[in-house]
Amino acid sequence: MKVLGLPGRKPETLAQMQGLIDRLEIGQTQAVVRPHSFWDCADVSNPDVSPDALAVSGSGADLVISKSIGNLIVMLARERHGFAPQACVFLATPLARFIPEGWMPLLEAHCAAVPTLFIQQTADYNGAYRDVAAIVARHPLCTAVEIPGDDHLYEDLDLIAPLIETWVNEA
C-alpha cells in the first residue's frame, strides 16, 4: 500500500505529518509526505492549491492522510483530475473555510465516493466535531472520530496514530 501524507497550510506542519506517517503500522510499502508548492510563496490564507491537486492526482497513492488544506487538495484532485485513492484520513477538516468558499458540495461528493476517516477536535475553531460528524453521518463510507482540543493543531500523535491504525487495519 502506497501512503501519501499532505500537511496543513503552514510549513511547520510538514514535520508533524512526517512524524505521523513514520510511526504508523498499517502495511504500507511506500510512504511519502509531500510539501506544498505554495510554500515557496508568501504566506497567504487562501493559496492556489491547483498545482498541488494536479501533482497529487499523479501520485498513485492508495491511502492519503491529510490535514486541513491538504483535505481540500485531495478533494480537488479527485474532482478535477480523477484521483482515486482507496481510502483517506482527513485531520482537521476546516468547515469554517469550506462553507463560505462554497466547497461543501466537493466534500459531500468526496464522502459519497471515498472511504474516509475524519478525525476532528471537539471544539476545533475551524470546524467542531459535531458539525463534521453531522455530515459524515449521511455517508456510509465515512467514519468520524472525536478527539479533545480546540486549537486546530492535532499534535497528539500518540492519540491520532492508533485511531488511524485501527481504522485501516479493520477495513
For 4-49, the pLDDT digits (tens) are 999 999 999 999 999 999 999 999 999 999 999 999 877 778 899 9
Domain harbouring 143, CATH code: 3.40.50.1820
**If we measure between CA atoms, which residue out of 154, 57, 71 comes closest to residue 117?**
71
Q: Is the pTM of this model over 0.85?
A: yes
Task: Flag whether 111 is in a domain.
Answer: yes
* pLDDT at residue 95 greater than cutoff 90: yes
| Cβ count near 101 (within 10 Å) | 12
Task: Flag whether 124 is in a domain.
Answer: yes
Task: Flag whether 123 is in a domain.
Answer: yes
Q: What is the pLDDT of residue 129?
A: 99
Please tell me the total count of domains within the chain. Answer: 1
Q: State the pairing for strand pair 87-91/30-33.
A: unpaired
Task: Flag whether 18 is in a domain.
Answer: yes
Contact 98, 104 (CB under 8 A): yes
Task: Flag whether 43 is in a domain.
Answer: no
Task: Flag whether 23 is in a domain.
Answer: yes
For 130-151, what is the mean pLDDT? 98
Task: Flag whether 80 is in a domain.
Answer: yes
Q: What is the pLDDT of residue 45?
A: 80
Q: What is the pLDDT of residue 160?
A: 99
| Residue numbers of the domain that contains 30 | 2-37+48-170
Q: How far is CA 95 from CA 14, 52, 82, 107, 125, in A?
A: 22, 20, 23, 10, 9
Task: Flag whether 42 is in a domain.
Answer: no
